Chain A
Amino acid sequence: MSVSSRARTWIRSIRHRDRIDADLRRELSDWIEELAARYEAEGATPDAARRRALMETGGIDRVKEAVRDQRVGASLDAFALDLRYAWRLWRRYPWLTGAAILSLALGMGANTAVFSVMNALLLKSAPVSDAGTLVAVYSTSAANPGWHQTSFRNYEDLRDALPIEALAYAAIPVGMSDAGSQAEQVATEIVSGNYFELLGVRAALGRTFAYTASEDKVADKHPDVVISDALWNRRFGRRTDVLNQVVQLNARPFTIVGVAPPAFHGLDVIRAVDVWVPASNTAILTGVNGFYFRNRSIGMFDVVARTTSTAGPRQVESMLQAQAARLAQLFPQDNKGLSFVTRSFWRSRMNPAQRDTWVRAGGLLTVVVALVLLIACANVANLLLARSASRKRELAVRLAIGATRSQLVRQLLLESLMLSSAGALAGLGIAWGAIRLLSALRPAFVPASFEAPLDWQALLFTGAVAFLIAPLFGLLPALQASRADVVDGLKSGEVSLQRIGRSDFSLSLLVTQATLTTIALVLASLFVRSLRHAQTIDPGFDADHVAIVSFDLGMLRYDNTMGPAFVRRVNDKLRTVPGVISSAVATHVLLDGAGLASKITLAGHEDAEALSVEAGAVGLDYFRTMKIPIVAGRGFQESDGAAVSEFGWAVVNQTMAERLWAGRQVIGQRFHVLGINEPYVVVGVASDALYDSLGEPRRPYFYIYYDQTPGLKKLTLHVLTAGDSRRLLPMIQAEIHAADRNLPVINARTMSDVLRDAMWVPRTGAALLLMFGSVALSLAIVGIYGVTAFFVRQRRREIGIRLALGATAADILFLIARRTFVPTVLGLALGLLASYFGGRLVAPLLIGVRPADPKSFATAVVILAAAAGAASVLPALVALRMAPAPILRRE
């Protein structure tokens, strides 16, 4: 029978359902009458004949149920009936249903929100062709293990030597201006000429660029750029005449040749790119980036290679190994110990170190929200169990009139599925709110363009979760209910606890709940304590009164004399502004990300493998402005900036001094920075500060003098103020504007803003975990309360008798509290054990708190014990207020 004719029959059968039912009724009564007549003819009395006929037929309702199950579309029919039935039940138990749906919605909403964010951050592939065959290539070495970017020189050699295609891209700061509009900073990537071709990304408008390797080497021949859909929309109003328009990038003319498709924002998942520039345009790479671009020893580019059927991932890896060895041999100074490693492309869509943190944080969040969902499921299972117990009489009636047990189970499972679907729907609303909340908490390093949409994947995820958890909380109560005994159920209408074993089951649910809640509470208190510790950390500088304003002199092609002159002019002007105590420039803002990556060798040990140490170039008065104490020697002075010098001057931090020259006189020591001819001489030691993040271990760091490295053009002006530094920000910007009208200010904020952003991880972690911990706790309270209340209702009679016989209130309380005490304590112990052994996984996310922190464990114990106590004593008090006489009379 074809599908269409089956469908027709089904539709007909729906339309004629009533007629079919009537037919069947008539047929059956005819059948019985005819049989009865036959038996009567055989000599039975009319009564006996009719009884026998009825018995032989086996119950009209049972036959009707069997027929209904058999008919085409019967299952759908039954489904509709079951739905209607479930809906009636919902209306009969509105509070219980509401509580169940709310529990599930909280659990599922949290899961969906976390899934959406993690999916967008960690799982989504870039909209490129055949992403499965792409691999990311990183540089590494024994002295500097990890995943590092690759220098353009090494990339070029790799690409030219190997029979595989590879592309490279790097972010550079670029100021864009065009006729008649304000200069702005745009997120730009400088990319190898084969970038778009290799990725298979076609322009949505105009064309992309495609240059060969040899064309990449001809400087400034192709000043073409491709812009993003977002930039096209924001700055050019989607006008098609944007093609061939000339824009100024870092004060150089470039021609827009195409617009990228809307879905493509580059390969980095966090940094949405607005402008792609071919790598041959080295002219816009001034200052620090030009230095990096030419320097073989320092990686700045991300490299992606495409594997083929002949050169699979393993061949590519071994080819890269051989190439790395060759490069290390050819350029021993720059590439000492160099090795290339590959990583699957989808895992390389953000900086690997950053990704590891996200994976850890995401894993933690996933575990916590899964805990919340499981607690919610345990809760709902308990609620359903309580209800199915009080529904026992009704189920017994249905069994007696001919429903099969499988029908009952199906019915109850459908109810669970309806509950979880309703929970999923409400959960989507919660997830939407939660994502908005998360993006409001977004740290500065995640740009506003990053989106975690509730897309079809999130919907699919929520649907799958809803489908999977329904049997989790629905199956056991359903099986329990279907085991109901007909006679017993009809007789008493009460539940005999022991017989259906409900109490054991719900007590084990209590243990599970207490375990999960304990874990959630321990995590929450760990992160709260971590946050409190982070708030007391001394960053090593005075964050309270420093305003900072960033700009990039490279955007206006300042040369090495114009730069320092501009800085001096601005500083001189600022010193006359009331409220300004001192001001200084620096290439890097402390606590706002890595400094200049430098490789150094000590004088006398030039052949040793170079050490990676970060550095920052700072101007005159920097240490005074930031209030960083100089513990030995001196800070920089005006005379250090003499135009010609055979030495560079350096101030090292305490950790660097201790690690490299322990026990020796530090002042006067010399070291080399790879790529720079003049050796550096240590003139002072500054006390340690925090450079990259709040939780970082002590790390070596050194400062060089800005006036000696005027090629560094991305600068931040630090201004120490007497009062509120934020109020002086407009004044400072006005002074910069007065010094050069065309220079865009990239960022204007205060050091306390920077400190606040650095607090993002501990603060958000504490906020989220506190939130989920409270949800878990409230669910657990509902669960314990429910079980106790149920127990009290079951034992009303016993309590009544005991009270009548003179039991004290304390006796009764003890009787009741004992029920929840054991499972709670057991769960608490299991939860503490799990937290103790699982805690090390979150250790890197904690600041100044060990994962096995006794205080956090104690907090969790006290909170859970108090909550469980309250939740079980409350129903007991209600029980005590009942007068014994009426209860006993009713029984």
Chain B
Amino acid sequence: MTKTPLLQGTLDLLILQTLALGPLHGLGIADRIQQVTRGALHIKAGSLFPALYRLDADGLVSGAWGESRSGRRAKLYTLTKAGRKRLADEKKGWARAALAVRQVLEMR
């Protein structure tokens, strides 16, 4: 399993995108990201929770206590309206940046 270093600032985007598919609790988010990236990205509690709490404080996600899919008591995070808008903006920006970087890298 190769570890890919996480680009600065991309964790927020990943969390928002993951939550866009439906509410999840903390470990659920980390698992989902690991699954989707086929184990390339392994998010630790020390990175995830600061990001989650910041997003919560900024009003982009909201957490509420409920039950996880496995039936455990868990705090489930949902994307808010502001979060959805931010996600769309960030995606556009990310796509533009990625395109730009690729163009540079493929320059001959």
Q: Across the interface, do A24 and B49 meet the contact criterion of CB distance under 8 Å?
A: yes
The contact of A20 among B26, B27, B53, B58, by CB within 8 Å, is: B53
Residues of B within 8 A of A9 (CB): 57-59
Q: Given the complex of chains A and B, what is the CA–CA distance between A58 and B73 in angstroms?
A: 22
Residues of B within 8 A of A28 (CB): 45, 49
Q: Across the interface, do B26 and A31 meet the contact criterion of CB distance under 8 Å?
A: yes
CB distance from A61 to the nearest CB of B (A): 11
A35 within 8 A of partner (CB): yes
Q: Across the interface, do A62 and B46 meet the contact criterion of CB distance under 8 Å?
A: yes
A30 within 8 A of partner (CB): yes
Query: Which chain A residues numbered 18 to 74 have a C-beta less than 8 Å away from chain B?
Result: 20, 23-24, 26-28, 30-31, 34-35, 56-59, 62-63, 66-67, 69-72
Q: Given the complex of chains A and B, what is the CA–CA distance between A568 and B72 in angstroms?
A: 117
Q: Given the complex of chains A and B, what is the CA–CA distance between A5 and B57 in angstroms?
A: 10
Nearest residue (CB) in A for B45 is: A57
**With contact pairs A9-B58, A30-B74, A35-B27 given, residues A24 and B45 touching in the complex (Cβ less than 8 Å):** no
B45-87 interface bits toward A, Cβ cutoff 8 Å, 1 = contact, 0 = none: 1100111011001110001000000101111000000000000
B44 within 8 A of partner (CB): yes
A1 within 8 A of partner (CB): yes
Q: Across the interface, do A67 and B49 meet the contact criterion of CB distance under 8 Å?
A: yes
Query: Which chain A residues numbered 69 to 94 have a C-beta less than 8 Å away from chain B?
Result: 69-72
The contact of B51 among A1, A62, A70, by CB within 8 Å, is: A70
Residues of A within 8 A of B72 (CB): 30, 34
A13 within 8 A of partner (CB): yes
B1-36 interface bits toward A, Cβ cutoff 8 Å, 1 = contact, 0 = none: 000000000000000000000000111000000000
Q: Across the interface, do B58 and A70 meet the contact criterion of CB distance under 8 Å?
A: no
Q: Across the interface, do A34 and B49 meet the contact criterion of CB distance under 8 Å?
A: no
**With contact pairs A30-B73, A31-B27, A57-B44 given, residues A13 and B57 touching in the complex (Cβ less than 8 Å):** yes
Nearest residue (CB) in A for B57 is: A72
Interface size on A, residues (CB 8 A): 26
The contact of A24 among B46, B53, B58, B70, by CB within 8 Å, is: B53
Residues of B within 8 A of A57 (CB): 44-46
Residues of A within 8 A of B57 (CB): 9, 13, 71-72
Residues of A within 8 A of B46 (CB): 57-59, 62-63, 66
Q: Across the interface, do B27 and A34 meet the contact criterion of CB distance under 8 Å?
A: yes
Nearest residue (CB) in B for A66 is: B50
Q: Across the interface, do B53 and A67 meet the contact criterion of CB distance under 8 Å?
A: yes
CB distance from A35 to the nearest CB of B (A): 7
Residues of B within 8 A of A30 (CB): 25-27, 72-75
Residues of A within 8 A of B70 (CB): 34
Residues of A within 8 A of B45 (CB): 28, 31, 56-58, 63
Nearest residue (CB) in A for B28 is: A34
Most chain B C-beta atoms within 10 Å of own C-beta, residue among A59, A62, A63: A63
Residues of A within 8 A of B54 (CB): 70-72
Q: Given the complex of chains A and B, what is the CA–CA distance between A875 and B91 in angstroms?
A: 69
Q: Across the interface, do A70 and B53 meet the contact criterion of CB distance under 8 Å?
A: yes
Nearest residue (CB) in A for B58 is: A1
CB distance from A305 to the nearest CB of B (A): 61
Most chain B C-beta atoms within 10 Å of own C-beta, residue among A13, A26, A57, A67: A67
Q: Given the complex of chains A and B, what is the CA–CA distance between A71 and B57 in angstroms?
A: 7
Q: Given the complex of chains A and B, what is the CA–CA distance between A67 and B50 in angstroms?
A: 4
Residues of B within 8 A of A23 (CB): 63, 75
Q: A27-B26, A56-B45 are in contact. List 10 more A-B contacts (CB 8 A).
A: A9-B59, A13-B57, A23-B75, A27-B74, A34-B70, A34-B72, A58-B44, A58-B45, A66-B49, A71-B54
CB within 8 Å of A: which residues of B?
Answer: 25-27, 44-46, 49-51, 53-54, 57-59, 63, 70, 72-75
Closest 4 CB pairs of A and B: A70-B50, A72-B57, A70-B54, A66-B50
